[in-house]
Amino acid sequence: FVREDGLDPALAERYTTATKAEGLPAYLTRFAAWDATVQSPERLARVVGELREDLAEDGVVHAEVRLRPPTDDDGRWDAMMEAAVDVAAARALPTLGFIAVVLRGWSAERTEREARRAARWAGRRIVALDVAGDEAIGGFAELAAAMLIAREAGLGVSVHAGESGGAGAVRDALTLLA
């Protein structure tokens, strides 16, 4: 997509296999390519379709994958989710569930909006809400209300903790988000 859209080739070059010593912030820069290129329902449908085919070739029968349509527009977000769900449902196996994502560093308002979006899709292939991102740029306090919204909608909750913040981050996740 980077070449198709005439974007800086360096964006695609960052989207490579991670190395052990690069660290979490460097790893997370890979998602800039996603945000820059997967901007339409058609693009998202293509990505989900290719993922589903890869999973099927590997013999996977069920997968739950993180998915964050890169848009602040609720109508576009819903259209992108509809496209992803349609592709996921087009084949019996593998079955796909989606885990919506909130990022550290987002405001409480933004994380709650994302949780409400995910809650609207509970039971329609969104199965959970995930906390991701660099632990150095934000803790969990801003995310607690969003996790409550997700749990009240029947969604699972997953949290990336301890990746760079150590045991204290795991403890905070269990204390503030459980």
Active site residue ranges: 163
Beta carbons of 103 and 94 less than 8 angstroms apart = no
Report the alpha-carbon angle 139-154-88, nearest 5: 95
Which residues lie below 8 Å from residue 53, measured CB to CB, with a gap of 6+? none
Question: Sign (positive/negative) of CA torsion 66, 71, 74, 77?
Answer: negative
CB atoms within 10 A of CB 115: 25
Strands (E), 84-162: 95-103, 126-132, 156-159
DSSP H or E segment with residue 66: strand 62-66
Beta carbons of 34 and 2 less than 8 angstroms apart = no
Beta carbons of 6 and 37 less than 8 angstroms apart = no
